[in-house]
């Protein structure tokens, strides 16, 4: 998602969660207090367009090598991202979408998930045998989220289904 408007606060403010030194967290809160008061915002890294999305994706080897090289050669980008929150939903998407790989991106992570709203937060539901038909008819390659303590039979059902599909 270009710009990912609803999540811009993730990089427009300072977050020091990745720092082990406890001194940085209150300093970050103080800095954000003054930035909010004056209406200042951090801009994204050196003119890159920010992109965001799911932390669940599939990448080619060539793309992974590109990302690793980019991060190795742009340490200041890594430092910028260390002061960002929920970085896993921004960093890889932004590097890829600001590169030659942008035209190869399929905007589908091929993961089946049922989302629930609880107290204003969304989270993936635990999939059970009730979801079996929906899962296998979804066209997705992966599914989340399973809990054998809640329903272990769903995993056996999926295994049996895949075994039958592959033996045809």
pLDDT at 14 exceeding the cut of 90: no
Find how far residue 87's CA is from the centre of its chain.
Answer: 8
pLDDT of res. 129? 97
Separation between Cα atoms, residue 150 and residue 37, nearest integer Å: 47
pLDDT at 20 exceeding the cut of 80: no
pLDDT of res. 17? 67
Taking the CB of residue 52, how many other CB atoms lie within 10 A of it?
24
Q: Residue range 53-72: average pLDDT?
A: 94
Looking at 39-168, list the stretches that DSSP marks H as alpha helix, in order from N- to C-terminal side. Answer: 61-73, 75-82, 91-97, 132-136, 153-166
Taking the CB of residue 11, how many other CB atoms lie within 10 A of it?
26
pLDDT at 105 exceeding the cut of 70: yes
Least-confidence region, from 29-33, 85-89, 127-131 = 29-33
pLDDT at 4 exceeding the cut of 80: no
pLDDT at 92 exceeding the cut of 60: yes
pTM over cut 0.75: yes
Find how far residue 17's CA is from the centre of its chain.
Answer: 17
Segment 141-150, tens digit of pLDDT: 999 999 999 9
**What's the pLDDT band for 2 if we cut at 50, 70, 90?**
low
**What's the pLDDT band for 128 if we cut at 50, 70, 90?**
very high
Q: Residue range 101-127: average pLDDT?
A: 89
Q: Could you give the C-alpha distances from 69 to 52, 53, 59, 88, 126, in angstroms and in order?
A: 20, 22, 15, 17, 37
């Amino acid at each position: 998602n270009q710009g990912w408007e609803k999540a811009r606060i993730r990089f427009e403010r300072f977050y020091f969660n990745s720092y082990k030194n406890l001194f940085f967290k209150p300093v970050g809160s103080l800095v954000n207090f003054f930035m909010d008061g004056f209406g200042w915002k951090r801009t994204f890294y050196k003119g890159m367009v920010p992109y965001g999305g799911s932390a669940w994706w599939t990448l080619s080897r060539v793309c992974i090598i590109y990302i690793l090289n980019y991060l190795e050669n742009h340490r200041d980008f890594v430092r910028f991202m260390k002061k960002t929150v929920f970085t896993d939903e921004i960093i890889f998407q932004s590097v890829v979408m600001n590169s030659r790989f942008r035209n190869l991106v399929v905007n589908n992570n091929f993961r089946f998930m049922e989302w629930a709203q609880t107290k204003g937060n969304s989270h993936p539901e635990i999939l059970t045998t009730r979801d079996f038909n929906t899962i296998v008819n979804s066209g997705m390659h992966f599914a989340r989220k399973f809990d054998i303590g809640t329903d272990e039979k769903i995993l056996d059902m999926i295994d049996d289904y895949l075994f039958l599909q592959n033996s045809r």
